Structure 1
Amino acid sequence: MHLEGRPAVVRYAREAIQHELDTLGLGDADDEAVRECAEVVLLIVSELVTNACRHSPGPVDLRIRWNDHVLTVEVDDRGKGVPVLVDEEDRGAGGGFGMGLIDALADGWGVKPQGEGKTVYVRIAFP
């Protein structure tokens, strides 16, 4: 989905991904572990889109892919910098918690250069 220029972009992204998770039967699954993974996806989407808003000219596109019980979230932005893990002692009022949270919750994440910016991707394995 294209995010650029949308008001309240983080809320829009979460709502759109919630709809997709429900369509896949993940957000409202009978299995509590699956529902918890879906909640993790929403938190990660919020963090990725927020980071793109704070550290770049803003998010451009958001994608999810579902393949063999693994959901991949991708956010494209035009920022030149790449996300980094901030040491715990350096986190504070100015931030630094987002990628640590993603690193702790995700099964993998990374960054790929793309055009004028980058794609940040996160993988979450579902039971």
Structure 2
Amino acid sequence: MTQLELPTDVRPPSVTVDLTCRQEALCRAWEAVCGYVEAYRAPDHGEDSGKDRDVDLLMVVFELVMNAHRYTEGPREMRLEMSDGKLFIEVCDGGWSSPWSPRIEERDATGGFGLGAVLSMVDGWSVVCTSWGKKLQVVVPLPH
């Protein structure tokens, strides 16, 4: 009897999360991200438990999901995919304006700081406009 050889380049399946209910959106998103990362991330072999990266991941998810509800209307969903030790988070919403538009700095501003925080925690980002809104994707490195 021969042993079955599994391909080494198998990717985890993508996961889609419905975020249309504002009251449940953040909780659903965070639970989905935690479950997905726990199920498919490579085991941590170092001293660092990856907790700092998990805090960064929470902040990225919070900012993307809350902005989709705060500034847009229409369909909202999040898609997760993992490849090469990186988590791809895509948030879809009904708005067409780019969240990365330059902002005029206001001396007494109390908000609008999320962009800088998100960009400092991700390896890359993109915005794709569609006929129904936009898809915002960020790439988050995961600890090995």
Number of residue-to-residue matches in the alignment = 125
After the TM superposition, which segments of 4 or more aligned residues of structure 1 sit over 3 Å from their partners?
Answer: 28-31, 85-91
Tell me if 1:82 matches 2:98: yes
Change (3 A) 1:12 1:100: same
Q: Structure 1 counterpart of 2:130, which letter? A: Q
Q: Structure 1 counterpart of 2:37, which letter? A: L
Matches within 5 A, 1:1-127: 1-5=17-21, 7-25=23-41, 29=44, 31=46, 32=48, 34-57=50-73, 60-84=76-100, 89-90=105-106, 92-93=109-110, 95-127=111-143
Change (3 A) 1:53 1:69: same
CA contact (8 A) 1:86 1:97 kept: no
CA contact (8 A) 1:86 1:100 kept: no
- The structure with more helix, counted as a fraction of residues: 1
Q: Which residues of structure 2 form unaligned runs of 5+?
A: 1-16
Q: Which residues of structure 1 form unaligned runs of 5+?
A: none
Change (3 A) 1:71 1:30: same
CA distance, structure 1, for counterparts of residue 70 and residue 58 of structure 2? 18
CA distance, structure 1, for counterparts of residue 120 and residue 74 of structure 2? 24
Structure 1 counterpart of 2:5: none
Cα deviation 1:31-60 (Å, max 9, x = unaligned): 426443233222111100011011101661
SS of the residue aligned with 2:82?
Answer: strand
Percent identity over paired residues: 30
TM-score for both structures, normalised by structure 1: 0.82
Q: Structure 1 counterpart of 2:120, which letter? A: A
SS of the residue aligned with 2:73?
Answer: coil
CA-atom RMSD, angstroms? 2.5
Q: Structure 2 counterpart of 1:69, which letter? A: G
